[in-house]
Chains A and B, each alone.
Chain A
Amino acid sequence: MRVLTTLAVPLALAPAGAFAVEYMTAEQAAKLMFPDAERFEARALALDAAQMQQLAARGVAPRSAQWSVRAALRGTQVLGYVVADAVIGKFELIGYAVGLAADGSVKQVEILSYRESHGHEIRLPAWRRQFVGKTAAAPLRVGEDIANISGATLSCSHVTEGVRRIVAVVEMGRKGGGL
């Protein structure tokens, strides 16, 4: 019984009431990534068939032709873009947001939600910092330029694939004039 009492102490000290798996909303992530932005403008990006084929040829599974991109604006200046997305980890969805600078390079990655029993370490700043500065020219692959997290291989791989897709889509949108 003493054991159980001892065990209960850290649980009792745990902050109660916080929502367990949603760390932030996409709006909060956008503001965190672009604190200087005066407003965010939703822009719908529609890829055409040729663009989808280009993505596929580059090894990026397009998944969707329709993308919702937030443009971070200060006056008329575009500071960058934020795309919120979700990928399957091992069993459950991981919500994440990618902030990109105006030149299309990754500015910041935030995990919005994580629900798996293992692998929450993808939230660690050190892991997410690996993406900063990466462009569509980078491999953006686990085991190449992104280090894995032991015990969270699928989560790491799938989020990395998601970031690669978003970087490629935004790059396409910038160059094609869709953004």
Chain B
Amino acid sequence: MKVDPRFALRPLAAALLLGCGLAHAQSTGEAALMQRLDQLAAELAAVKAELATLQQQRATAAAPVAQAAPAAQAVPAAQAAPVADASGSARYSVSAGSATVIGGYGEINYNRPKNSSRDAQADLRRAVLGIQHRFDDRTKVVTELEVEHAVASSGDDGEVALEQAYVEHQFSPAWAARAGLFLVPMGLINENHEPNAYYGVERNFVETAIIPSTWREGGVQAVGSFDNGLTLQAGVATGFNVNKWDPAEGRESPLGAIHQEMQLARSRDLSLFGALNWRGIPGLLVGGGVFSGGASHGISVNKSRVTLWDLHARWTPGRWDLAAVVARGSISNSAALNNEFGIVGSDAPIPRSFDGGYVQAAYKLWESGSYKLKPFVRVERFNVARRYADGLGPIGTPDGLPTERVLTAGTNFDIGSGVVLKADYQKFKQNKDLDRFDLGLGWSF
């Protein structure tokens, strides 16, 4: 396996940086060393260019037909730096970079309920290892392997899961297709869920309880990217399975209880999804998504369809980062399903609809070098059982649960672009026992 040269060079880079840090200034000797490195890099680039030329000549000789292909396709994938051409000027090769890149992210969270310190908990919430391999200039495979809660065994609560495993092929600058296990384009977090991509120690409730982030499905997806700022994603994929309904999980997240994550996913019924996002004005994102499909798979007598849609916006003028999301989901024929499953009147029957929304404002208050302090506040409302069909909900709340409102205030403290420290306080309107302090450490590379 060819590993990204960034990693191979890191010890050298770290040594150089350390040297710089200790000296607080570059000596002439260090500058000379850097110039020598540059010279070596240039020589290496020249050798690679010669090799590329030889390979190209060989390929041309072997397959004259290939000359009809676009010139860029003949550029071998090994070229990794600006390369000197015949006139001595540098030309940039798009085929640069390693074929295999390792990435990852992780987060460690500490939650301390205000009124119940005995429930305080520290958790290695997740550590994810991502490996991306590019087969050629148009085709790559993306995988992410996740371990949640540090230990996964028969006696522990952790789990190991593949979050993503898809092949992407680029047909043209505008159109690509993905096939495999991919993230559903919904909301702001689901496709960008690294800890330094969102505010707060915990992901917001709307995008966990209503949109079940990290939500992935198996299928095929077309991705269109246009010069007017529109991005269109649409496809067909596996969907939910209402036969998996678990009251305890359903009370936390209706779709989280019946998602399948491509783990021997029932797929008699497939779902359709689409998302449209517009980024035509710098700093502004406006978009929405919809996902809908059968969820009974011929197992339950009563057929059911699960539908979820969202609208979202994010605006980052100057130091501000403003965001809003609304999402609503429904499970059709829930009255009949609750009767069939014998859960009418139980603590958590299948709801007919569930929804939520939040607004969030963050501000880059202070920046020095690679440090950034970004306090934020978020107000959200969500209801995991807005309505039960025919008033057949739990005793006491037959028509629907009360809406929970959560105020989260805190700060993200970025160290460079890859590490974030977080602290916040969350205040719940309905269930005040949940009021808590949170601390977090996250990283992404």
Contact = CB atoms under 8 A, between A and B. Distances in A.
Contact of A157 (B38, B103, B417): B417
B283 A7 contact: no
Interface stretch (B149-157, B310-318, B423-431): B310-318
A150 B317 CA distance: 12
A146 B316 CA distance: 10
A85 B82 contact: yes
Given A17-B70, A66-B35, A68-B89, A91 B26 contact: no
Given A14-B171, A85-B92, A53 B26 contact: yes
B175 A92 contact: no
A66 B81 CA distance: 13
B364 A143 contact: yes
B266 interface: no
Contacts of B176: 20, 117
Interface string B35-62: 1001100100000000000000000000
Nearest to B224: A10
Nearest to B31: A49
Contact of B229 (A84, A113, A124): A124
Contact of B316 (A26, A88, A112, A150): A150
Contacts of A151: 191-192, 285
A15 B94 contact: no
Given A19-B72, A147-B283, A147-B316, A68 B170 contact: no
Nearest to A9: B222
Contacts, number: 186
Q: What 3 A-B pairs come out closest when comparing CB atoms?
A: A147-B283, A49-B31, A42-B89
Contacts of B25: 53
Nearest to A127: B282
Contacts of A7: 220, 222, 234-236
A134 interface: no
Interface string B187-202: 0100110000100000
16 contacts: A3-B270, A18-B173, A19-B94, A20-B171, A21-B170, A25-B91, A26-B90, A65-B31, A84-B82, A84-B90, A86-B82, A86-B92, A95-B93, A117-B176, A121-B279, A126-B282
A49 B26 contact: yes
Contacts of B419: none
Given A3-B272, A18-B172, A93 B97 contact: yes
Contacts of B174: 14-15
A168 B172 CA distance: 35
A163 B364 CA distance: 22
B244 interface: no
B97 A130 contact: no
B432 interface: no
A59 interface: yes
Contacts of A70: 89
B101 A124 contact: no
A113 B138 CA distance: 12
Interface string A133-154: 0000000000110111111011
B282 A91 contact: no
Of B81, B142, B173, B177, most buried by chain A (CB within 10 Å of CB) is B173
B318 A143 contact: yes
Interface in A39-95: 40, 42, 46, 48-49, 52-53, 56, 59, 64-66, 68, 70, 84-86, 88, 90-93, 95
B103 A90 contact: yes
A38 interface: no
B213 to A, nearest CB: 14
Contact of A49 (B28, B88, B138, B229): B28
Contacts of A91: 101, 103, 132
Interface string A1-17: 00110010011001111
Contacts of A36: none
Of A20, A64, A112, most buried by chain B (CB within 10 Å of CB) is A20
A120 interface: yes
A16 B171 contact: yes
A177 B84 CA distance: 23
B282 A59 contact: no
B73 interface: yes
Given A113-B94, A121-B231, A65 B224 contact: no
Contacts of B227: 123-125
B282 A20 contact: no
A64 B38 CA distance: 7
